[in-house]
Chain A
């Protein structure tokens, strides 16, 4: 199981062997414990996956997370659950919003992060502190006045209230994440660039931005996932079925009570989380490290 249990080299003392035996016991116990936690953690996901392939009758009658008789029927059923509009439309809407959010966040937050981490100007530390405070500011405090303001702009029922703020660096968390990363890049590099005649703008574009790539990727993925999963903002601003996103489309299932709708509901939930799963599989290391460093180094 573990590498530690293996080395039973010849010529080892009996006492050492006995203690290694005890250690093997502890190792096994540890693995049992961790696997148990892992099962509890993934059970809801497995259940979701299993249910999405179960026929309606089986969902109520069987406790097995995995279907007895596999069916794909839940997917078309869920896809067309809402009259007049399919989940395809919701997916396109969600994708547009999420991609724009990523673009806006990367652009505006990398600008701000460069200023905070590399440039000297009056009031920097005060502004930096203000930026950190906005990370902690509860969003619900802003939603009512923002709604009133966007209503005057004529932005209600468009993507603008969701997307436009991202282009103005409102996701301060990502500024913070990038500042952390940029501070780790040796200053000698941009000083060398400056001696070679690079101004602050070209230094940012050609030197610092390429070096910040890991933080940019992490920010892009987090920004995508958070916008993709975000429900509150989209619920508030999007009113027409035509404009609905995946989270809103999913929430419509709540009105259909009873276990019969579980299959289609879980089928669409799986599809909704598919991008998140894929990003997780591809970039798990980066995501976990990003979540760690943004918390810890701060």
Chain B
């Protein structure tokens, strides 16, 4: 993470002058060196038991058949092979997830940026609006909100009835294979508040002199946006794109609740995570589910690396971007 790199630079830049009194501090600093590890003990234990251990274990499991009752049976690449050649539901879940990620990330972020720019001025009530728009992100992926969505968009729900009163045909969005996924996408976009507050803070960092400068050059609104806002905001945009993409890959609760755990109707909301859950915890195919987990991990890792690589082309770390 570039941002982290920046933080590290900041941390390592802390000076260690060799004046006399500082040397005595450094002598006491000997205890610090062990103290660092002592304070990290819980974290070390946590990452070993709950992260690295499981990661290695699941890599092993992904090459086995395992139902939790009998011990794992080595099958080589059979799980991976089956996934990509003989499991249409797997490929379908990949498709559903990709559609979701590709639609949600840009739409949600465009919405977040648009509203952030709308709020980036000195007006009364800005703080209230900022909090209010953030609220859906806080309610987030709760089951309660997913239930609201399910009710709003199903037969006799407010949205369906509302559209009917406008003379449009009554649609049972939740039970219509072509409308269930768009309803879930809409739910994700409704939660634009979290990236919005980050954009808003980023916008506030842009020095107003830069806008004054382009105004002198007679720039119009679009040019102001294109040549000042966009480049100076690009580190924040990159951060949001990265985070939203990774989050979108992990969407689970809305799809689970809205489809009643099936991924229906007609598998139209069978998200990758939902299918992984079904394979693991309803079919008890732990080997297969582990293989799916590793494919997901590889996909997210490759995508993240790719995004960092591409970011060098378009992300601008100028003086304005450095705080």
Contacts and interface: CB of A to CB of B under 8 A. Distances in A.
Given A33-B118, A44-B149, A111-B43, A121 B1 contact: no
Given A30-B118, A149-B54, A265-B151, A288 B131 contact: yes
Interface stretch (B198-206, B211-219, B220-228, B309-317): B198-206
Interface in B113-131: 115, 118-119, 123-124, 127, 129-131
B129 A38 contact: yes
A173 B217 CA distance: 44
A44 B152 contact: yes
Given A169-B47, A297-B3, 10 more contacts: A41-B132, A41-B135, A41-B190, A112-B43, A119-B32, A121-B34, A148-B68, A199-B35, A200-B31, A287-B134
Contacts of A269: 143-145, 147-148
Contacts of B236: 296
Interface in A192-225: 194-195, 199-201, 204, 225
A117 B249 CA distance: 31
B50 A129 contact: no
A70 interface: no
B139 A273 contact: yes
A87 interface: no
Given A122-B33, A144-B58, A259 B200 contact: no
Contact of A48 (B25, B124, B148): B148
Interface stretch (B87-95, B101-109, B177-185, B288-296): B288-296
A130 to B, nearest CB: 7
A246 B143 CA distance: 9
Interface size class of B (residues with CB under 8 A): 35 or more
Nearest to A199: B31
Contacts of B82: none
Contacts of B256: 231, 235, 251
A100 to B, nearest CB: 15
A119 B273 contact: no
Contacts, number: 311
Nearest to A65: B158
> Counting chain B CB atoms within 10 Å of each CB, which of A120, A127, A288 scores highest?
A288
Interface of A: 1-4, 27, 30, 33-34, 37-38, 41-42, 44-45, 47-48, 51, 59-60, 63, 65, 107-108, 111-112, 114-117, 119-122, 124-125, 127-132, 134, 136-149, 151, 165, 167-170, 175, 183, 187, 191, 194-195, 199-201, 204, 225, 229, 231-232, 235-236, 246-248, 250-251, 253-255, 259, 262, 265-266, 268-270, 272-273, 276, 280, 284-285, 287-288, 291-293, 295-298
B45 interface: yes
A132 B28 contact: no
B142 A273 contact: yes
